[in-house]
Amino acid sequence: MNEETRADSKRTDDGSLEARSGESGSGAKESGGVTRRALITGAAAVAGSALTASVARGTGLGTRTSPDPTKVAGARPDVVGSRSPYETPRKFVTGSAGGVTQSPLQDLHGILTPADLHFERHHHGIPDIDPAGYRLLVHGLVDRPTLFTLDDLKRFPQVSRLLFLECSGNGGRAYTASPNAERSPQDIDGLLSTSEWSGVALATLFEEVGAHPESTWFLAEGSDAAVMSRSIPVEKAWDDGMIAYGQNGEAIRPEQGYPARLLLPGWEGNSSVKWVRRIELSDRPFMFRDETSKYTDPLPDETARIFSFVMDAKSLITYPAYPRRLAEPGFVEIAGYAWTGRGLIDRVEVSTDGGGSWREAALQEPLLPKCTTRFRYGWEWDGSPAHLLSRATDETGYVQPTYSQMVAARGPGTRYHYNGVRGWRVGSDGSIGFAPV
């Protein structure tokens, strides 16, 4: 049951989180590790082996371990670009069964997640789907049951939006009275990513097939080995649901649902069924395994919320954060993400004294509904211990709760939607540890 990454939890029945193969993936640990050999090899491949390294000495302009780039011909462009060899952001790969990867939030700038760093949560791996053979079947309570090819989908008017996508199990490691301080943003909340998603509005498709007025739910089913299925209220289709085939300007990556997926803005990631092949309109929910036994929220009164789709407001400081250290007192720009499934982030407040006082952070444009928003707060660190917190408020007036407020509302054993206030303790030596409140 803890497959949504509650690794600190006592529940290990799923076992899928125990083998963490990406342990070295924390960007701060790895990105500095470019070796001299790698640089020289890279330069030689471009400019030939006759070059000798001309190391600038005593100029105060930095130490070069590669040839002076102003004295050799630059590399020629290629048909596909690549990341600088000096930059090695890495997902964490966790889980032994379905598959989980977590985005390196602390290494990212702006709001977009590069597609190859987008988080993953699969329920039975990544299918290989030939787009030529792809079909989307829409049937059930409709006038015209229809099969759409990928080309058919692309002929409809297109919609395109920047949206966050977050697993509702994200942040489970923060949901404990005694969290492990040695946790990075990626460890805790790496099941969050933001992309520009392009596709066709579900409303367009539902009009096209003649959806019956009495249809209240629809099934979305993937063509992965889990034949992943969820029941979705039809009103979400008329509101803003889409079938997406584009991600950040290119075709959706296989890990994100190639060639087409359901995309439900602001809702828990599991409901945005990847590799979608079938949509069936109905007048009732289907009660699939993942929407009954898994993605539900137990409550202290011995009930459980079912179909709790919307992701409540949340924020997270990604700098400064473990495992980085602050080198010296002085100016530090505290920065992070805020997002809400209910629309727009209204404000983000930052505390540097563990919640004793709060100041409003600046929000970076663009401010978009159901999308991550960057916040930043200029802080003069005087070298004394500090406790950094962030707290988001959305346009409905919802305020990101503390852990104890969440426990009061949902109990210590609830299983999803962990959006409590996150924070970092800064020691006088500049060390940083995860410390939510």
Chain positions 366 to 385 lying near another protein, rule: CB under 8 A, are 366-370
For 43-68, letters b (16+ CB in 10 Å) and e give: beeebeeebeeeeeeeeeeeeeebbe
Number of other CB atoms surrounding residue 29 within 10 Å? 13
Query: What does the alpha-carbon distance between residue 143 and residue 208 come to, in Å, rounded to a whole number?
Result: 9
Question: What's the min distance (Å) between Cβ of 276 and another protein?
Answer: 12
Q: Which is nearer to another protein, 10 or 109 (CB)?
A: 10
Q: Which of 246, 298, 323, 430 binds another protein (CB under 8 A)?
A: 298
Listed in sequence order, the residues at least 6 apart from 335 whose beta carbon sits closer than 8 Å to its beta carbon are 317, 318, 319, 374, 375, 376, 377
Query: What does the alpha-carbon distance between residue 241 and residue 336 come to, in Å, rounded to a whole number?
Result: 27
Q: Which is nearer to another protein, 44 or 238 (CB)?
A: 238
Kindly indicate which of the ranges 29-37, 134-142, 252-260, 382-390 contains the residues binding another protein, using the contact rule CB under 8 A. Answer: 134-142
Of residues 326 through 355, those in contact with another protein by CB under 8 A are 342-344, 346
Q: Sort 369 into a burial class: Cβ within 10 Å, 0-12 / 13-18 / 19+.
A: buried
Query: What does the alpha-carbon distance between residue 387 and residue 330 come to, in Å, rounded to a whole number?
Result: 16
* Residue 358 sits in the site that holds another protein (CB under 8 A): no
Of residues 216 through 275, those in contact with another protein by CB under 8 A are 216-217, 219, 221, 225-227, 229, 233-235, 238-240, 242, 265-266
Kindly indicate which of the ranges 25-33, 39-47, 56-64, 362-370 contains the residues binding another protein, using the contact rule CB under 8 A. Answer: 362-370
* Residue 394 sits in the site that holds another protein (CB under 8 A): yes
Q: Which is nearer to another protein, 64 or 135 (CB)?
A: 135
Q: Which residues pair with 381 in a beta bridge?
A: 330
Q: Which of 90, 261, 274, 278 binds another protein (CB under 8 A)?
A: 278
Q: Where are the alpha helices (DSSP H) in 163-287?
A: 185-189, 202-209, 234-239
Q: Give the residue carrying structure tokens 């007036």.
A: 397
* Residue 131 sits in the site that holds another protein (CB under 8 A): no
Q: Which is nearer to another protein, 64 or 154 (CB)?
A: 154
Kindly indicate which of the ranges 51-59, 184-192, 198-206, 243-251 contains the residues binding another protein, using the contact rule CB under 8 A. Answer: 198-206
Torsion sign (Cα): 266, 271, 277, 278: negative
* Residue 156 sits in the site that holds another protein (CB under 8 A): yes
Q: Which of 33, 48, 145, 383 binds another protein (CB under 8 A)?
A: 145
Q: Which of 22, 286, 358, 431 binds another protein (CB under 8 A)?
A: 286
Q: Which residues pair with 197 in a beta bridge?
A: 161, 247
Question: What's the min distance (Å) between Cβ of 305 and another protein?
Answer: 5
H helix or E strand, kind and range, residue 46: helix 36-47
Query: What does the alpha-carbon distance between residue 49 and residue 323 come to, in Å, rounded to a whole number?
Result: 38
* Residue 46 sits in the site that holds another protein (CB under 8 A): no
Kindly indicate which of the ranges 65-73, 74-82, 293-301, 318-326 contains the residues binding another protein, using the contact rule CB under 8 A. Answer: 293-301
